[in-house]
Amino acid sequence: MPAGCEGPDGWLHRERAFHDRLAATLDPLTMAPGQLGPLEVAMFEAGRIVPGAKVLDLGCGSGDLIIHLLSLGADVTGIDISPGMLALAEERVRVFGGGRTAELRATSVERMELDSDAYDVVVGRFILHHLEIGRAAPEVARVLRPGGRAVFAENSARNPILMAARRHVAGRFGVPRLGTEDEHPLAQADLAALAPHFADVRLTYPVFEFFRIFDRQVLRFRSHRASRVLRAMDRGAGRVRRLRPYSFRVLVTATAG
């Protein structure tokens, strides 16, 4: 365990070390940005991002969202706790950003040294479930302008079958356990910690993923035919309104007061 990991912020040191190690295995020159997926498209639409909007990307990682936000004409700041990931993002913006630039800062969401009321939109893709939301939520609300929106694409803990598989199957029987040791899908307690700091918090389900998780974890996408069938099953399940909240993916939109 690295020095300092024994304290209350030990999880932060572990997260930084994990993502620094991952960044060291990646080559930014081979990482041209792909098309946004439907969850990311829905996130941008919910954020109502327009040219000139000041946007903060939380946990920006290697810069995927930053490059797309710049292409929309946004004025972008990205933060991440991993210097390795920020170096990747900086190089990818230089190579693939079309001459546009973004401000990148190494900091945690819980301790952002950013001006208050500075951003129209905050976005984050799979970041909330890495955070101590009770500490992060007031910081996110603080940097948003009144009426500004924070929009997060997240993993959800709502589905009991997926959560049972995560507890008892992942990491065993040849099924990989992905992510870091401290992260967890977004639970009701996390949403309860988020809500007091915003005028409104809403959950939507622009995509339904359940069977795809089985395809990813167990089948490893090795059968194109099985993948097509499982995607079709997800699409069918997603048409049933009562089933949508049991998707592994959720969009969280929080509006500042």
Q: Tens digit of pLDDT for each residue in 64-102?
A: 999 999 999 999 999 999 999 999 999 999 999 999 999
Query: Are the beta carbons of 21 and 82 closer than 8 angstroms?
Result: no
Q: Tens digit of pLDDT for each residue in 222-255?
A: 999 999 999 999 999 999 999 999 999 999 999 9
Query: Are the beta carbons of 52 and 117 closer than 8 angstroms?
Result: no
Q: How confident is the model at residue 180 (pLDDT cuts 50, 70, 90)?
A: confident
Q: Residue 95 burial by CB count (10 A; 0-12/13-18/19+): exposed, middle or buried?
A: middle
Q: Which CATH number fits domain 10-155+185-208+250-255: 1.10.10.10, 3.40.50.1370, 3.40.50.150, 3.40.50.720?
A: 3.40.50.150
Q: Where are the domains of the chain?
A: 10-155+185-208+250-255
Q: Tens digit of pLDDT for each residue in 22-67?
A: 999 999 999 999 999 999 999 999 999 999 999 999 999 999 999 9
Please give the model's pTM, rounded to 2 decimal places.
0.92
**pLDDT at 2 exceeding the cut of 60:** no
